[in-house]
Chain A
Amino acid sequence: MAAKKSVPAKKVVVNLPQAAQNMRVWKFGDDIDTDAIIPGRFLTINNPDELAKHAFEGTRDEFAKKVKEGDAIVGGRNFGCGSSREHAPLALLGAGVRVVVARSFARIFFRNSINVGLLPVICLQADKIADGSKISLNIKKGSLESDGKQFKIEPVPEFMQGIIDAGGLVEYAKGLKEVPVCTKSRQ
């Protein structure tokens, strides 16, 4: 049975939120690396639900036990740095998290998150959001509300918005027969 849980993984339900209300915050600091999100010894697992059981193991053990569907992660600078392991956003998705807010993101994690349906939100004032508080997000307005205060969020690069609108890169790619190689996009 052990072998079955790793291959193949179940399909991730992609549902990038445009607005999400009253998300409980799990607050983290700067430079949260993907080893902290999902340690290397669990990378044989490809299934988000199984990965979620080990999310932040050794870093914040109560996370996997107490996280609830619809909770949000808030980090500081350089969230998701280090290894390119997509198991990191998958573990958070498996835990029911759909939104990660941070002052800044590491490049690969940012792109992986959008690709798999976890929404990374850049908020330069993320440090002001408290652990355990509730946040609400309004992408269209470009704002995030925390404890009655409004914070500005940064727009997603335009070419990535298409992937978000499609519901992730898999959905974006499904309809394509070929890609327009060497065409430039607006940023």
Chain B
Amino acid sequence: MGATIVEKIFSHKCGTEIRAGEVVMAPLDGAMIHDITGPIAIQKFYEMGGTKVFDPKRIIMLFDHQIPADSIEAASNHVYMRKFAAEQGIHNYDINEGVCHQVTIEKGRAAPGEIIVGADSHTCMYGAAGAFATGIGSTDMGFALRFGALYFKVPETIRAEVSGKFQKRVGAKDLILTIAADIGADGATYKAIEFTGKTVRKLDMAGRMTLCNMAIEMGGKAGIVAPDKVTWEYMKGRRKMKSFALASDEDAKFAEKRFYDASGLEPQVAIPHNVDTGVPVSKVVGTHIDQVFIGSCTNGRFEDLAEAADVLGKKKFNPNIRVIIIQASRDEYLKTLKAGLIEKFVKAGALVEAPCCGPCMGGAFGLLAPGEVSLSTSNRNFKGRQGSTEGKVYLCSPATAAASAITGVITDPREV
């Protein structure tokens, strides 16, 4: 019997056949820490008797949740981590580069066939680069920093095969909201989700990142897209490595296979307060909103902002809506800037911030008051995620967010 891509990654790393369900102490190619989960991870590293990290070159450190420091506590956490970076010889991207997951991929710190952990649940996004990547807590990260390895129960894989061409203004975010609604908030717990099929093959890296980012919203341990021309083209200039074949065998044992048709897909909106509540936008058209957030690791790339700008055209944003736009990274910021989109957004009435997690962090800024409603391109709409637990968050694509920011209510982007 063949193997899944995940089984192959673990087997290759260890030089022995490893199958789903087996527990293995696997070596790590990378470990990512940021300003929220990093301080505790470092404390645990020391408590475990750690003095030197396993390999400073494999540790990815940056600050993105509370930047520039929004409180004395945040500033102190940053100082604590900077000191650790200096002591250990770790390169710290500090507050300069953007959201951890975007930065990790675009700096070539995640590559096909690698095993990477991050002290953040959306670490599963690196599957877009063909890596097995999963989110862990701070104590596991302390262990990872010290030993460069971690226990994994190798997951079974759910294969999500997508065919059909997206309609105009419909894309990866609408697809993943549909898949999340289908699989459910815990339907992929302890499993990996492999995204495959002609539609996925045609997606650019930005779209693949959107898909893999949200595997955790189904409880998934990892999301992954088998590397292909698109992946290897993206790796060029980011990582020196030769391309190789890595894909699930057709006769591999999958936990299940699910099939999706993108061609009939409408823009989707996940309604409060769970991510697996996606409905066609037509069901919620006209819903009142107070704030629109276009950004995050899920949808803060140039392609997302270009789509939003295209929907915007020569219109203005509704003056009654607070429109917050945040690029996922410095690179994406520069692309957006050079394309003239930032000027366009600002002139249309948006607030464009420097790359960071923004309102999705639910603490730094852009919070909701009781009774307020946010429409957001981020990944979570839990109660209180963006401020008051009496506020509401709807999730959607950049196109739907832009269209709604123009009209002032939730709007079908195909009709703007």
Q: How far is the CB of A46 from chain B (nearest CB, A)?
A: 5
Taking A2-B72, A159-B151, A181-B26 as contacts, is the C-beta distance between A84 and B362 under 8 angstroms? no
Taking A115-B139, A159-B23, A184-B24 as contacts, is the C-beta distance between A11 and B380 under 8 angstroms? no
**A84 close to B136 (CB less than 8 A):** yes
B363 on the A face (CB < 8 A)? yes
A67 on the B face (CB < 8 A)? no
- One of A124-132, A138-146, A148-156, A172-180 at the interface: A172-180
- Give the CA-CA distance A44 to B69 in the complex, in Å: 10
A65 on the B face (CB < 8 A)? no
B76 on the A face (CB < 8 A)? yes
B153 on the A face (CB < 8 A)? yes
Which of the listed residues A2, A41, A112 has the most CB atoms from chain B within 10 Å of its own CB?
Answer: A41
- One of B247-255, B310-318, B381-389 at the interface: B381-389
B261 on the A face (CB < 8 A)? no
A19 on the B face (CB < 8 A)? no
**B136 close to A7 (CB less than 8 A):** no
A28-48 to B contact mask, C-beta < 8 Å, 1/0: 000101011001111111100
B120 on the A face (CB < 8 A)? yes
Taking A6-B77, A184-B18 as contacts, is the C-beta distance between A170 and B149 under 8 angstroms? no
Q: How far is the CB of A164 from chain B (nearest CB, A)?
A: 13
Contacts of B121 in A (CB 8 A): 82-84, 108
Contacts of B390 in A (CB 8 A): 58
**B72 close to A33 (CB less than 8 A):** no
Contacts of B221 in A (CB 8 A): 107
Q: How far is the CB of B17 from chain A (nearest CB, A)?
A: 10
B14 on the A face (CB < 8 A)? yes
- Give the CA-CA distance A185 to B14 in the complex, in Å: 14
Contacts of B139 in A (CB 8 A): 86, 112, 115-116, 168-170
Taking A2-B72, A9-B40 as contacts, is the C-beta distance between A173 and B146 under 8 angstroms? yes
- One of B182-190, B280-288, B339-347 at the interface: B182-190
Nearest to B81 among chain A residues (CB) is A7
Contacts of A182 in B (CB 8 A): 13-16, 24-27
- Give the CA-CA distance A169 to B382 in the complex, in Å: 29
B:32-82 near A, CB below 8 Å = 36-37, 39-40, 43-44, 47-49, 65-66, 71-77, 79-80
A64-81 to B contact mask, C-beta < 8 Å, 1/0: 000000000000011001
B147 on the A face (CB < 8 A)? yes
B138 on the A face (CB < 8 A)? yes
A:1-38 near B, CB below 8 Å = 2-3, 5-9, 11, 31, 33, 35-36
Contacts of A9 in B (CB 8 A): 39-40, 43
Q: How many residues of B contact A (CB 8 A)?
A: 68
- Give the CA-CA distance A179 to B44 in the complex, in Å: 17
Taking A8-B43, A42-B363, A43-B65 as contacts, is the C-beta distance between A35 and B189 under 8 angstroms? no
**A81 close to B185 (CB less than 8 A):** yes
- Give the CA-CA distance A7 to B382 in the complex, in Å: 28
Which of the listed residues A40, A46, A112, A185 has the most CB atoms from chain B within 10 Å of its own CB?
Answer: A40
- Give the CA-CA distance A6 to B39 in the complex, in Å: 9
Contacts of B21 in A (CB 8 A): 187
A:90-148 near B, CB below 8 Å = 90, 104, 106-108, 111-112, 115-116
**A6 close to B384 (CB less than 8 A):** no
- Give the CA-CA distance A114 to B363 in the complex, in Å: 27
A53 on the B face (CB < 8 A)? no
- Give the CA-CA distance A115 to B356 in the complex, in Å: 29
B127-155 to A contact mask, C-beta < 8 Å, 1/0: 00000000111111011001101010100
**B76 close to A181 (CB less than 8 A):** no
Taking A3-B73, A107-B189, A179-B147 as contacts, is the C-beta distance between A35 and B43 under 8 angstroms? no
B22 on the A face (CB < 8 A)? yes
Taking A43-B36, A85-B37 as contacts, is the C-beta distance between A181 and B27 under 8 angstroms? yes
Taking A7-B39, A181-B27 as contacts, is the C-beta distance between A36 and B382 under 8 angstroms? yes
B410 on the A face (CB < 8 A)? no
Residues of A within 8 A of B (CB): 2-3, 5-9, 11, 31, 33, 35-36, 39-46, 58-59, 77-78, 81-87, 89-90, 104, 106-108, 111-112, 115-116, 157, 159, 168-170, 173-174, 176, 178-187
List of 7 A-B pairs having minimum Cβ-Cβ separation, nearest first:
A40-B362, A58-B389, A41-B363, A44-B73, A112-B137, A182-B14, A115-B139
Q: A7-B73, A187-B153 provided; 16 other pairs, C-beta below 8 A?
A: A31-B185, A40-B362, A44-B76, A45-B73, A58-B388, A58-B390, A81-B219, A83-B120, A86-B37, A106-B189, A169-B143, A170-B48, A173-B49, A173-B143, A174-B47, A185-B24
